[in-house]
Amino acid sequence: MEFPEQAEIAKLIDPQPYPSFARVSYEPATETLADPLETVRSEVNRLAFADLEPGSTVAVGVGSRGIHLIADIVAETVTAIEERGFEPVVVPAMGSHGGATPEGQREILAALDITEDRIGAPIDARMDVTKLDEVAFDGTETPVYFATAALEADAVMVINRVKPHTNFTGRIESGLCKMLTVGLGKQQGAQAFHSTALAAGYVPTIESLTAAIRESVSLLGGLALVENFSEETGVIEAIPGTAFEEREPQLLERARAEMATLPADDIDLLVVDELGKEISGAGMDTNVIGRYRVINASDPETPAIDLIYARGLTDETSGNGNGIGLADITRRAAVEQLDLRKTYANALTSGSLAKAKLPPVAPNDELALRVALNALGGYDPETARVAWIENTTDLDEFYVSEALLEDIDDEVVVRSRAQLTFDDGTASFE
């Protein structure tokens, strides 16, 4: 595909003067665990290992998110299981991520520093699934799939962060239940789940599938993690397999109260340096940008962001640009990073097709910003409310225009003043 060159776009829109910016830090009060790895060990030991025969195998479901200390947490979990006299095996629990291939899912884990050498346990990344049951929704039967690699173990546990989801709001969102039903469902299970959830609702689907899996699987439990605004671990808690649906809503409220957000709800233009699957399932956290773009789900009321410019992908996402469709404009450098096979595998499985749409592509930052500012309508550099962030999780420092700073100066600390400059069309602050 050929995109317009600079000369072709530049003649369509006159250059715009840019706002003055300030680099600010934003650090709400948070709570952090003093010794998270010691907490992992003590919490894992609370699970019902006494119900297992010595030497039993334990499948440990691990996902694709960039969770704080995730490699250390997995390694510590593996060690705790081995010290109890059991044999752990890590099973990727990430649905269709990694292009829905064993190699792709191993690649994602390796990018998170989760390798067999690092964690001291084998990784079984097979994509095979077993159909456990069928669950009825309004007269329609939905198959319940589960990873064969996990099913072959004597017991199953999952490790995941509990946090607000990027597609819906409810009493159960991202966490142990979703990893059990969607992550360990592999591609077939994830596709079946999303197809049903889009019509019947996410929470009822998660709860029904969790109950069905519990009937067929020796579910030891899970290790629930909650992170604070600074992406540090605030809670590590072992939850028995029988109590997922009871305990997760309480942890979700804690996560919602401490999650990373911007200090403003009304923004004209948000510039995002990078998006990726390890940052959010939607590439950009939809709770930060205020966009779900999902059928049968209304976008969050806040924040209200008029336009989003996505500049690129993280290295860790390995070309999976799912979420680029949440932006209003991007640049050629981002498109060149895209692996459409991985992006489409994710979008087609989830049914969130809008997240894989390609927005208008500008040749570089200078033209992308020129297009975006013009599209705001009535643009004035003195009043434009612009925020420029690295990604939607690293929100402790970022840039804001002076107009936006006026509204948030009580919540942030100004580190320096900055002007936007360009080198061969690429933006930087100085």
Q: State the CATH class of domain 36-257.
A: alpha beta
Q: Where in the chain is the domain with CATH 3.40.50.11440?
A: 36-257
User: For residues 127 and 97, is the Cβ–Cβ distance under 8 A?
Assistant: no
The runs of H, that is alpha helices, within 112-220 are 116-119, 148-151, 176-181, 186-200, 202-216
- The per-residue pLDDT string of the chain (430 residues; one tens digit each, 9 = 90 and over) reads 889 898 898 999 999 899 999 999 998 878 899 999 999 999 999 999 989 999 999 999 999 888 999 999 999 999 999 999 999 999 999 998 888 999 999 999 999 999 999 999 999 999 999 999 999 987 778 999 999 999 999 999 999 999 988 777 889 999 999 999 999 999 999 999 988 988 888 899 999 999 999 999 999 999 999 998 888 899 999 999 999 999 999 999 999 888 888 999 999 999 999 999 888 888 999 889 999 887 766 777 789 999 999 999 999 999 999 999 999 999 999 999 999 999 998 888 888 899 999 999 999 999 999 999 999 998 999 999 999 999 998 999 999 999 999 999 888 999 999 999 999 999 999 9
> What is the value of pTM for the model shown?
0.76
